[in-house]
C-alpha cells in the first residue's frame, strides 16, 4: 500500500524544520490502483470481492434453510418481505455505486481532502436515508404488506420480522456505503473479510435465536431478523472502524449546506440512475417469473433451481464487475486512460473466456446437477435445457456488467442505465414473450440468452465511445473544493 505524496517539492531537512510549526500529515490506509500490473491488480481485487459475495450468498441460503424448518407459514412470511427488502437494498447499492465513483476519482487524482469530505457526507446521507425509511417502514408495515397480499396470520409473522428489520436499517444501509468507500480507496480485502465474518455470525446466531438455546427462548421468524440485525451491527462497527482508524477518511466538522449540496449532488448524479436500474430488476424479474409460471409448476421449479446454480456460476463475473469500479475510478481520476483501456480489454476477455468455460461445463453436466435438486423428470428436463442454453451468454453477461461498472466509474451514469434497462426490461421481456410464443418455455430461455448477446453489443459500443472521449481528471473541479472554506 502506498500513500498519496504531500503536495510541494519539500526536502527532508526543510520538512523537519517545519515540523514544530505544522500539524503532522495524517496517513491513510488506501491503496493506489494507478500503479502496478493491471491484470494482477484486477484479479486480486476480484478475488477478494468473490469471497465477500460468496459469504453473502451462503448466509442467505442458510437463513432460508433455518426459516424453512419452522414450516410453511414463516417461510411464506419471509417471501413476502423480499420485494420490500430488495427495493431498499437497491437504493443502497445505487448510492454505493455513486460513492465508489466519486471517492475513487478524487483519491486517484490525489485530492484527499475531497475524498474525506465525500466519504463523510456519503455516510451522513446513508444515515438520513436509513432513518427515513426506518420510520416510514415502521409506520406502514400493516397496510403495505396487506397491499402485497399477506393474510392476517401471515401478516403477524411479517410484522414480527419487519419490525426488527426496519429498526436495524442503519445497520443494513451504512455498511453497504462504508464498504463501497473502502473499495474506492483500493482495499477489497477489508470489506470481504467483514462480510465473511458477518455471515459466520449470522449463521451461528440463526439456530440459537430461531429455535432457542443457551437459555434464549424460541423466537421463530423474529429470531432470524435479530440474528441478521446483530450480524449487520458488526459490519456497521467494523466498516466505520476501518474508515476512521485505517483509512483516516472521515471528517467530523459540521457540514455546511453548500458543502452537502455539492457532495450529495456528485453522489446522486451517479447514484440515482444506478438506483433506478437496480430497482427495475425485481420488477422485470417478477414479469419474467409470471411468464414462466404460466407454463406450469415444473417450469417455475426448474427456473428456481437454474437461477440458484447460475448465482454461484456467475461469481467470477460478479467479482470482476465490482473490481472494475474502483480501478477505473482511480485511474480516470489520475488521467491514466491507458490503464483504463487495458483494464477493460482484460476484463472483457477474462469474463468471456470464463463464461465459455462455465457454459461448456453446464452444457455437459447440467442434467446431472439439476437431478441433485429434484427427482421430477419434468423439472430436471426443463432445468437441463436452461443450463444448456442460457449459460452460452454468460461471457456476454460479463461484458455487460463490467462495461456498466466502467461507465458509472467514469461518471457516465446514463449510458450505464441504458445498458441496465435494456438487459432487464426493454429487450429481455419482449424477447422472452416472443420466444414463448414460438417455442414455449424453451423459447423463454432462448429469448433471455438472445437479449444478453444484443445488449453486450450495445455495451461494447457505449464503453468504447466513452473511452475515446476526453476524460475528466479527478472530479472536474478544484481539489478539495467540497471542503468548507
- Domain finish residue from 273, 303, 337: 273
Cα distance between residue 348 and residue 461, in whole Å: 13
Cβ pair 313, 358 in contact under 8 A = yes
Q: Could you tell me if 255 and 310 lie in one domain?
A: no
Q: How confident is the model at residue 476 (pLDDT cuts 50, 70, 90)?
A: low
Cα–Cα distance list, 79 to 110, 433, 456 (Å): 46, 26, 32
The rounded Cα 273 to chain-centroid distance in angstroms is: 14
Residue that wins the pLDDT comparison between 235 and 153: 235
Q: Is 10 helix (H, G, I), strand (E, B) or coil?
A: coil
In a domain, 222, yes or no: yes
Q: Could you tell me if 254 and 345 lie in one domain?
A: no
How many domains does the chain contain in total? 2
User: Is the model's pLDDT at 6 over the cut of 70?
Assistant: no
Q: Is 314 helix (H, G, I), strand (E, B) or coil?
A: coil
Q: Could you tell me if 214 and 328 lie in one domain?
A: no
C-alpha cell at 161: 420480522
Q: Could you tell me if 241 and 303 lie in one domain?
A: no
Q: Could you tell me if 245 and 365 lie in one domain?
A: no
DSSP class of residue 35?
A: S
C-alpha cell at 38: 493491471
In a domain, 477, yes or no: no
Q: How confident is the model at residue 11 (pLDDT cuts 50, 70, 90)?
A: very low
Q: Could you tell me if 428 and 365 lie in one domain?
A: yes
Radius of gyration of the chain (CA): 23
Contacts of 94 (CB under 8 A, 6+ apart): 271, 272, 273, 274, 275, 276, 277, 278, 279
In a domain, 289, yes or no: no
In a domain, 33, yes or no: no
* pTM score over 0.95: no
| pLDDT given at position 59 | 78
User: Which of 19-23, 229-233, 333-337 has the weakest average pLDDT?
Assistant: 19-23
In a domain, 102, yes or no: yes
Q: Could you tell me if 252 and 140 lie in one domain?
A: yes
User: Which of 8-17, 109-118, 174-183, 246-255 has the weakest average pLDDT?
Assistant: 8-17
Q: Residues 15-59: pLDDT tens digits?
A: 343 433 433 334 556 778 888 899 999 999 999 989 888 888 887
- In the beta sheet, which residues pair with residue 213? 216
pLDDT (average), residues 143-149: 78
Cα distance between residue 15 and residue 353, in whole Å: 51
Q: Residues 450-475: pLDDT tens digits?
A: 999 999 999 999 999 999 887 665 55
Instruction: Of 107-121, 150-164, 434-448, give the range with the top mean pLDDT.
Output: 434-448
User: Is the model's pLDDT at 237 over the cut of 60?
Assistant: yes
Q: Could you tell me if 231 and 130 lie in one domain?
A: yes
In a domain, 41, yes or no: no
Q: Could you tell me if 448 and 310 lie in one domain?
A: yes
Cα–Cα distance list, 18 to 21, 26, 56 (Å): 6, 16, 49
Cβ pair 84, 172 in contact under 8 A = no
Contacts of 52 (CB under 8 A, 6+ apart): 188, 191, 192, 194, 195, 196
User: Which of 185-199, 221-235, 281-295 has the weakest average pLDDT?
Assistant: 281-295
Cα distance between residue 124 and residue 120, in whole Å: 6
pLDDT (average), residues 174-183: 92
Q: Could you tell me if 169 and 251 lie in one domain?
A: yes
Q: Residues 345-379: pLDDT tens digits?
A: 999 999 999 999 999 999 999 899 888 877 888 88
Q: Could you tell me if 263 and 307 lie in one domain?
A: no
Q: How confident is the model at residue 227 (pLDDT cuts 50, 70, 90)?
A: very high
In a domain, 208, yes or no: yes
Residue that wins the pLDDT comparison between 484 and 411: 411
Q: Could you tell me if 187 and 259 lie in one domain?
A: yes
| pLDDT given at position 472 | 64
| pLDDT given at position 23 | 37
Cβ pair 176, 96 in contact under 8 A = yes
What is the chain's mean pLDDT, rounded? 84
In a domain, 480, yes or no: no
Q: How confident is the model at residue 1 (pLDDT cuts 50, 70, 90)?
A: very low
Q: Which domain holds residue 423?
A: 294-470
DSSP class of residue 69?
A: T
pLDDT (average), residues 252-273: 87
Amino acid at each position: 500500500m502506498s500513500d498519496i505524496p504531500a503536495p510541494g517539492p519539500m526536502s527532508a531537512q526543510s520538512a523537519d524544520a517545519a515540523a514544530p510549526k505544522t500539524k503532522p500529515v495524517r496517513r491513510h490506509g488506501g491503496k493506489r490502483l494507478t500503479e502496478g500490473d493491471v491484470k494482477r491488480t484486477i484479479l486480486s481485487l476480484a478475488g477478494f470481492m468473490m469471497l465477500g459475495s460468496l459469504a453473502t450468498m451462503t448466509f442467505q441460503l442458510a437463513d432460508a434453510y433455518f426459516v424453512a424448518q419452522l414450516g410453511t407459514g414463516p417461510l411464506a412470511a419471509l417471501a413476502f418481505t423480499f420485494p420490500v427488502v430488495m427495493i431498499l437494498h437497491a437504493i443502497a447499492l445505487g448510492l454505493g455505486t455513486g460513492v465508489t465513483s466519486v471517492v475513487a476519482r478524487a483519491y486517484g487524482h490525489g485530492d484527499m481532502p475531497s475524498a474525506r469530505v465525500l466519504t463523510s457526507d456519503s455516510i451522513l446521507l446513508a444515515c438520513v436515508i436509513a432513518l427515513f425509511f426506518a420510520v416510514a417502514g415502521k409506520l406502514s408495515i400493516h397496510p403495505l404488506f396487506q397491499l402485497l397480499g399477506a393474510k392476517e396470520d401471515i401478516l403477524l409473522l411479517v410484522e414480527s420480522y419487519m419490525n426488527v428489520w426496519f429498526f436495524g436499517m442503519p445497520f443494513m444501509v451504512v455498511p453497504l456505503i462504508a464498504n463501497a468507500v473502502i473499495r474506492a480507496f483500493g482495499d477489497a480485502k477489508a470489506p470481504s473479510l467483514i462480510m465473511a465474518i458477518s455471515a459466520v455470525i449470522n449463521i451461528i446466531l440463526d439456530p440459537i435465536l430461531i429455535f432457542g438455546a443457551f437459555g434464549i427462548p424460541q423466537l421463530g421468524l423474529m429470531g432470524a431478523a435479530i440474528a441478521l440485525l446483530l450480524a449487520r451491527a458488526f459490519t456497521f462497527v467494523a466498516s466505520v472502524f476501518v474508515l476512521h482508524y485505517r483509512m483516516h477518511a472521515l471528517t467530523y466538522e459540521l457540514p455546511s449546506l453548500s458543502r452537502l449540496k455539492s457532495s450529495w449532488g456528485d453522489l446522486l448524479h451517479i447514484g440515482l440512475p444506478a438506483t433506478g436500474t437496480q430497482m427495475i430488476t425485481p420488477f422485470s424479474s417478477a414479469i419474467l417469473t409470471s411468464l414462466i409460471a404460466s407454463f406450469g409448476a415444473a417450469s417455475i421449479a426448474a427456473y428456481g433451481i437454474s437461477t440458484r446454480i447460475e448465482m454461484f456460476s456467475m461469481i467470477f463475473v460478479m467479482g470482476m464487475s465490482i473490481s472494475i469500479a474502483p480501478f477505473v475510478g482511480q485511474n480516470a481520476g489520475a488521467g491514466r486512460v491507458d490503464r483504463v483501456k487495458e483494464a477493460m480489454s482484460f476484463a472483457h476477455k477474462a469474463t468471456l473466456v470464463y463464461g465459455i468455460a462455465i457454459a461448456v461445463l453446464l452444457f455437459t453436466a447440467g442434467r446431472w446437477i439439476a437431478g441433485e435438486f429434484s427427482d421430477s423428470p419434468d423439472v430436471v428436463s426443463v432445468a437441463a435445457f436452461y443450463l444448456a442454453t442460457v449459460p452460452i451468454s454468460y461471457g456476454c453477461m460479463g461484458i455487460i456488467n463490467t462495461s456498466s461498472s466502467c461507465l458509472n466509474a467514469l461518471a457516465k451514469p446514463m449510458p450505464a442505465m441504458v445498458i441496465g434497462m435494456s438487459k432487464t426490461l426493454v429487450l429481455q421481456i419482449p424477447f422472452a414473450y416472443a420466444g414463448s410464443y414460438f417455442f414455449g418455455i424453451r423459447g423463454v430461455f432462448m429469448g433471455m440468452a438472445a437479449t444478453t448477446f444484443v445488449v453486450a453489443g450495445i455495451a461494447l459500443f457505449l464503453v468504447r465511445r466513452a473511452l475515446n472521449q476526453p476524460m475528466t481528471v479527478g472530479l472536474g473541479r478544484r481539489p478539495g473544493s467540497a471542503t468548507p472554506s
